[in-house]
Structures are given as structure tokens and as C-alpha cells.
Amino acid sequence: MLSGYTWIDAIYMTVITVTTVGFGEVQPLDTQSKIFTVFLILASIVIVGYAISIITEYILSKSNYEELKQKKMQKKIDSLKNHIIICGYGRNGSQAAKKLIAYEKDFVVIEKDKEIIDKFQSELVSFIQGNANEDEVLLQAGIDRASTLISALPNDADNLFVVLSARQINKDLTIISRASQQTSYNKLKLAGANNVILPDMIGGDHMASLVVVPDLIEFIDNLSIVGKANINIEEIAVEKLYNPSTIKTLRDLDLRKKTGCNVIGFKDGQGDYIVNPEADIELVPKSKIIVLGRPEQIKKLNSLYNIQ
């Protein structure tokens, strides 16, 4: 309109101006057209520069966001102490994590599959991507500060290697390992595992028990702990119940009268269990009792002795 160009010539001049190609004017420009062209060039530089900065920022921010998220998670992991480490987030590992969340326990998951991490990562589940067989990854998960390690990898050889590495780094660590084959049981125990779980054996035994003693198994299933609001069975260290400098007995505590809970098991300092202990059994240091009761009775017990 200013220079009397056709639409084709005007578009052509605009494109070569904005892209700073500048082959030449279709026809000489008058003063008004020159002023318009100056503003067009300045505006195009600003717009194109802004667009490039936005695109660049978007590309960089995606990688920076992942990096910042990982740093934040690592900082959270570094602050943990006496936590649990789960190696592998398959069927067994995810079930263990679910139970620990219900218990409000701190834990870290080591998983090498990025897709699984992206799918399940949340505020409740902290992941470290890597191979649990590597000492650097175990140290990144804070194994030197952890209280327990659960090795739930699908391969027995991998579990064996994890148990060996973990026991070498932390001698006081409680290690629980999964095993697929019965022949792996003794090897994992020898490597340093405190407990070895064979899921297939447990599952088959449970199904057979539902045939032989169905009502008993259903009753035991009802004792499982779903969450803190539904706890009906609990193990308690005697140090939380009284000062063991003066030895007391179960009769002295009288938990049944005070809370309604029944003591159904006792574990002494050497790790030996007694089912349905006598009232005069002595509660020595480092021993534990197992109590049974309704959720409100367990809650009353925890409140009475200020057990967290």
C-alpha cells in the first residue's frame, strides 16, 4: 500500500527483509516505505530473537528439570538414616514398597529400567536409576547408613551378588533376599542374607493351607497390617515399655488389663521365640514381645507407652 507493490512483490520484499537476505528492492522505495522497512527490520530481529530464546530455553529446561529433580531426590536420600533399600521394583519390590508406605517407613528403590521409574516415581517413592550390583549405586542409595536391604531382583545370581556387595559394605545391615530356586537358599544365606524368601514356595504353601485349614489361614490373613489405622498385631522392644535396668515380667506389665492387648509371642536377646509365653517370663534387655489386639487396643498401647 505504501509503495504500490503487488501482493507477490510485497510478500517477497517482506521475506527477504525479515530473513536479512536482502537481494535488492523490487523498485526504489520512497521515504515512507524506507521508514516502514526500518521498523519492520527492527521488529523482526526482536521477534525472531525472542522466539529463538524461548525455543532454546524450552529445550534446555527439559534437561535441567530432570537434573534438578534428580538432585532434589538425591538430597532427600542423602538425609535419610536407618532407612530401607529395595533393589528392583518388580512384583515383589513394588509390594514391599506398598507395605513400607503403609508403615510410613523411609525407603529408597534402586531400579535400572527408566520406564518403570518414570511411571511410578512420586513423593512417596524415591528412585535411583542404576544397577544394584554396582557398589557406587548402593552407596548412592545410602547403604552405609541404611538399616535394611531388600533384594527383590528376578535373577538369583543378581540377588547373590547384591547380598555379597551389601554385606561387605555394611556389616550390621539386615538383608532380606528373594530367591526363585530352592538351591539358591543356602548360597544366599552363606553370602550374608539374614532371611531368604521363596515367593513360589510361600504361595503354594498358602494355597494348600487354605484347603487343609481354611478358617485358620483366613484368620491369619486378617492379622495382616494394612496401615497404621488398621494395625492389630505389633512387635515391641521391651526398652520401649520400661527401663530394663530392673528386670520385669509380663505379669508386672499387665498389658491385658491396661490396654486389652494379649502377648502372644516373646523373642529373647538371642533371637529365640516363645509362643504364648508364661506370665512370669523375664523381659530381658534386647528382647521383644508380640502383642495381638484390635486396632483401638493397639492404639491405646502405643499411646500409653508413647510408642511411635
Nearest residue to 288 (alpha-carbon basis) of 300, 274, 298, 302: 274
* Residue 40: all three cell numbers together: 519492520
The reported pLDDT for the residue numbered 229 is: 60
* Residue 78: all three cell numbers together: 542423602
The reported pLDDT for the residue numbered 246 is: 87
The reported pLDDT for the residue numbered 169 is: 95
Q: How far apart are CA 193 and CA 303, in angstroms?
A: 35
* Residue 258: all three cell numbers together: 491396661
Would the pTM of this model clear 0.75, i.e. be above it? no
The reported pLDDT for the residue numbered 223 is: 73
140: left (phi over 0), alpha (psi -120 to 50) or beta: alpha
User: From the first residue on, what is the mean pLDDT of each consecutive set of 10 residues in the chain (308 residues)?
Assistant: 78 78 72 80 85 80 71 89 96 93 91 92 90 95 96 95 96 96 94 94 89 86 63 88 89 93 92 92 92 89 88
Q: How far apart are CA 135 and CA 110, in angstroms?
A: 12
The reported pLDDT for the residue numbered 225 is: 54
The reported pLDDT for the residue numbered 35 is: 82
Q: How far apart are CA 235 and CA 43, in angstroms?
A: 73
Nearest residue to 193 (alpha-carbon basis) of 214, 178, 205, 182: 178
